[in-house]
Amino acid sequence: MKPARAKVTREKVLAAALALVEENGVQGLSMRKLAAAVGVEAMSLYNHVPNKDAVIDGIAELVIRGMVLPEPTGDWKNDLRGLADAFRTAATRYPHAAGLVLTRQLGSDASLAGTDAALSVLRGAGFGAEEAVHALRAVLAFLVGTVLREVESGPAFDGDDPEAVAHRRAELVASPFPALAESAPFLASCDHDREYEFGLELLLTALETRRTQSSQRG
Amino acid sequence: MKPARAKVTREKVLAAALALVEENGVQGLSMRKLAAAVGVEAMSLYNHVPNKDAVIDGIAELVIRGMVLPEPTGDWKNDLRGLADAFRTAATRYPHAAGLVLTRQLGSDASLAGTDAALSVLRGAGFGAEEAVHALRAVLAFLVGTVLREVESGPAFDGDDPEAVAHRRAELVASPFPALAESAPFLASCDHDREYEFGLELLLTALETRRTQSSQRG
DNA sequence: ACCTGAACACCGTTCAAGT
DNA sequence: ACCTGAACACCGTTCAAGT
């Protein structure tokens, strides 16, 4: 009686790939190590997946599929915030794999559902079919940029390494750039939650202004 | 008399690396090909550069250094727009290498100059030393997200391939998502200039509102 | 000081051969 | 239908040896 190894499937390959990336970073993912992780020789993977790029696409989709869409409440700003939060939560749950999601064109069904939810909230708020797309793209661009900074920044920037922050701050104060020196205490580290909230509120406020102006015209 | 090969330098290695990336994409960069491009064996590169990661860092710095900071005009919104434009122009000039710049932590002197210029504009507009940092980070996050989308999107999304756009549009219309279907004509392709301007204006408007409210309080 | 050949420990992917 | 060993054409990097 053999150990009755569970059958290899595409799903298992992708799940193992995601785990491997989270453990060793994107660089640490190789078809050979991935094969070992699922208990098979490297060449067997090609029975379940066309190539390595497809594995990476699969990882990105897996992360996006982890996004839990909140129920709409009727308050469009709250609802859009909720969707943004869901995106950020899903992405930061896998810090090493997040870069893959943020960097690739999101074409999967999972991301379509999120897009539809966001557009639906915006339409409900009174934005037109075209304006809603612009609004969504602006918020999404900000979201991608913020989350990318968040998952890419090490403890020296997060504030988790006070010594590194102090060092960086001293460097900025001593730099030949006056505005940099003046803002050094705030530049030396980054509170990701705060920056995310600040920027998102900025965008939501500006959208609210646009919305009321348009509806007054119409 | 030998052909008097010009001496290899770090600068030349990095310039050749950037050219190689623009020609073949980031994947097409290898130490061996890079060595061939500068007319030397692979191992000689290690006399000028510690490893491949340093080469990639160098490429990113080279791209950022191409950013031409505009002279301040005194109109803070215009000045911030000018800086954002300069960043976008520098990044999109090297579409294949742009991802490297947008993805890495920008710590070089060249990026410090840009940061200082932006903070200086914001301080001049009346933002505090801390608020200016939040404002800068919000704009930069949006900028990174937009430019990333721009350099990553193929002709099927740019609108340069009308057939692909029509196909995508039909797919969206036929999708089970109502809001997606309604906005399909605007979702199927992306005018990067327009999205960039839309989002940037949104942020600048919101910052203007914050600015006047703060100064009324103060 | 700078270059090189040979070598090491890896890659992704193909293909013919097995069951 | 799925797995495998051997092989191909690559990688980044080290090291001892050359000039």
pLDDT tens by residue, A79-92: 999 999 999 999 99
For residue A4, what pLDDT is reported?
42
In percent, how much of chain A has pLDDT > 70?
95
Give pLDDT tens digits for B130-146.
999 999 999 999 999 99
State residue B109's pLDDT score: 77
**Chain A interface mutation, best of B133, B157, B200, B210, highest count of A Cβ atoms under 10 Å:** B133
Report which residue is nearest nucleotide D2 when distances run from CA to C1'. A47
Q: What is the DSSP string of chain A?
A: ----PPPP-HHHHHHHHHHHHHHH-GGG--HHHHHHHTTS-GGGGGGT-S-HHHHHHHHHHHHHHT--PPPP-S-HHHHHHHHHHHHHHHHHTSHHHHHHHHHS---SHHHHHHHHHHHHHHHHTT--HHHHHHHHHHHHHHHHHHHHHHHH--HHHHTS-HHHHHHHHHHHHTSS-HHHHHTHHHHSS--HHHHHHHHHHHHHHHHHHHHHHHHHH-
Q: Which two tokens stand for residue B60?
A: 């990113």
Q: Assess whether B148 and B80 both reside in one domain.
A: yes
For range A163-178, the mean pLDDT? 95
Contact A145 B149 (CB under 8 A): no
B52 CB near a chain A CB, below 8 Å?
Answer: no
Contacts of A183 in chain B (CB under 8 A): 119, 129-130, 132-133
Is the model more confident about A106 or about A179? A179
How many Å apart are CA A165 and CA B149, to the nearest integer?
A: 31
Query: In this structure, are residues B46 and B34 in contact, taking their beta carbons and an 8 Å threshold?
Result: no
Residues B133 and B45 in one domain: no
Are both B117 and B192 inside the same structural domain? yes
Q: Tell me how far apart the alpha carbons of residues B135 and B133 are, in angstroms, rounded to a whole number.
A: 5
Query: Are residues A80 and A33 part of one domain?
Result: no
Residues of the domain holding A20: 10-50
- Across residues A37-64, what is the average pLDDT? 97
Give the minimum alpha-carbon distance from A188 to chain B in angstroms, rounded to a whole number: 10
Residue whose CA lies closest to nucleotide C15 C1': A43
A178: nearest CA partner in chain B: B116
DSSP output for B91-158: HHTSHHHHHHHHHS---SHHHHHHHHHHHHHHHHTT--HHHHHHHHHHHHHHHHHHHHHHHH--HHHH
Instruction: Report helix, strand and coil shares of chain B as percent, to nearest 5.
Output: 75, 0, 25
pLDDT at residue number B179: 98
Q: Residue B2: its pLDDT value, please?
A: 40
Say how far apart CA A204 and CA A81 lie, in whole Å.
8
User: Does the distance separating the beta carbons of B133 and A149 come in below 8 Å?
Assistant: no
Q: Are residues A106 and A21 in the same domain?
A: no
pLDDT of A29 over the 70 cut: yes
Separation of alpha carbons B51 and B132, rounded Å? 37
The pLDDT tens digits of the residues spanning B159-177 come to 999 999 999 999 999 999 9
- What tokens were used for B122? 């914001």
The answer to whether residue B3 is domain-embedded is no
For residues A185 and A148, state if they share a domain: yes
Mean pLDDT, chain A, rounded, equals: 94
Number of domains, chain B: 2
Taking CB atoms and an 8 Å limit, are A206 and B202 in contact across chains?
Answer: yes
- Say what the pLDDT of residue A216 is: 65
Low-confidence ranges of chain B (pLDDT < 50): 1-4, 218
- From chain B residues 97-156, the ones with a CB under 8 A of any chain A CB are 99, 102-105, 112-113, 115-117, 119-120, 123, 129-130, 132-134, 137-138, 140-146, 148-149, 152-154
Mean pLDDT, to the nearest integer, of A118-136? 98
pLDDT at A154: 86
Q: Considering the domain boundaries, does residue A2 fall inside one?
A: no
pLDDT at A1: 37
The pLDDT value recorded for residue A39 is 96
- Indicate whether B18 belongs to any domain: yes
| Residue B68: inside a domain | no
> How far: A150 CA to D15 C1' (Å)?
40
Same domain, A91 and A33: no
Residue A3 pLDDT grade (very low, low, confident, very high; cuts 50, 70, 90): very low
Query: Residues A121, A207: one domain?
Result: yes
Residue A55 lies in a domain: no
Question: For B195-204, what is each residue's pLDDT tens digit?
Answer: 999 999 999 9
B11 by Cβ neighbours in 10 Å (0-12 / 13-18 / 19+) ranks as: exposed
In this structure, the number of other CB atoms found within 10 A of the CB of residue A104 comes to 16
Residues B29 and B88 occupy one common structural domain: no
CATH number for the domain that contains residue B168: 1.10.357.10
- Judge whether B142 and A199 are in contact, CB under 8 Å: yes
Residue B196 lies in a domain: yes
Residue pairs between chains A and B whose CB atoms are closer than 8 Å: 172
Task: Kindly report the pTM of this predicted structure.
Answer: 0.95
pLDDT for the residue B146:
98
Q: Give the integer Cα–Cα distance in Å for A150 and B208.
A: 26
Measured in degrees and rounded to the nearest 5, phi and psi for residue B123 equal: -60, -45
Same domain, A212 and A124: yes
B165 and B102 within one domain: yes
Query: Is there a single domain that holds both residue B36 and residue B118?
Result: no
Question: Considering the domain boundaries, does residue B66 fall inside one?
Answer: no
**Residue A26 belongs to a domain:** yes
Is residue A143 within 8 A of residue A84, CB to CB? The reply is: yes
